[in-house]
Structure 1
Amino acid sequence: MCAGPLTEGAAPHDGGAGTMQFAQIIDFETERIEEVRELLRSYEEQARSQGRGGAPVARTLLKDRANPNRYLAVVQFESHEAAMANSAAPETNELAQALSALMTRPTAYTDCDIVDHQSMR
């Protein structure tokens, strides 16, 4: 997804293991979550069918238990560079505009390097 602004800066150091993966946490509020989910599904299907480079590799949508209209989307990319390419895509800009119309407050974005990820199964 990566529908918001990305912070540009020095490439992350990963200790020589290859390109460091990147994630963006998108904090938003909406009363129209099913419409948001449908827009995301459509965008993701389009990215897959077109084989668009830089597209997200995973997305997790979290719902705040204390605030039922608040959600966090964690969107993962192969690298910061891939996320930047995705952010520059016209389809991503269209998605951001469509999503903003469904929000009840401005969206907040946090850019992160993935330094550790473990599956517990």
Structure 2
Amino acid sequence: MAAFVQIIEYRTSKPDEIAALMADFQAKREAAGDGPAPTRSIAGADRDDPGRYFAIVEFESYEAAMENSQRADTTEMSEKMMELCDGPATFYNLDQVASMD
């Protein structure tokens, strides 16, 4: 199993703007239909700590994730997202060792 997962922890007082940014990014990426992309992603709001959010992004491999990170559109989206955050994000880079559906 060579899957890779990145968890991004962030704080924002503008969750609707981040959701709109992500929806626009996904639509543009799907329309382009090229290059590496996450196999799945989800976003969650922390019920116990309002304003704290997590993005969980799955890739086929670490290499695919790093290639995705180098794309200009990914860099642009990330910069815009960080402008909407209340402080820096924390990134967790995980090699997947198990999965349950």
Partner of 1:36: 18
Give yes or no for contact 1:54–1:78 (8 Å, CA) kept in 2.
Answer: no
If asked which structure has higher relative contact order (CA below 8 Å, sep 6+), I would say 2
Higher-strand-fraction structure: 2
Partner of 2:76: 94
What CA distance in whole angstroms lies between the structure 2 residues aligned with 1:48 and 1:23?
20
What CA distance in whole angstroms lies between the structure 2 residues aligned with 1:52 and 1:22?
20
Pairing partner for 1:70 from 48, 52, 60:
52
Q: What TM-score, normalized to structure 2?
A: 0.94
Higher-helix-fraction structure: 2
Pairing partner for 2:28 from 23, 46, 56:
46
Equivalenced residue count is 101
Residue 63 of structure 2 aligns to a residue whose secondary structure is helix
Moved over 6 A (4+): none
Query: Matched residues, percent identical?
Result: 33
Residue 100 of structure 2 aligns to a residue whose secondary structure is coil
Deviation at 1:52, TM superposition (A): 2.3
Cα RMSD after superposing both structures: 1.0
Give yes or no for contact 1:61–1:73 (8 Å, CA) kept in 2.
Answer: yes
Give yes or no for contact 1:53–1:82 (8 Å, CA) kept in 2.
Answer: no
- Max Rg structure: 1
| AA partner of residue 41 (structure 1) | A
Q: What TM-score, normalized to structure 1?
A: 0.80
Partner of 1:79: 61
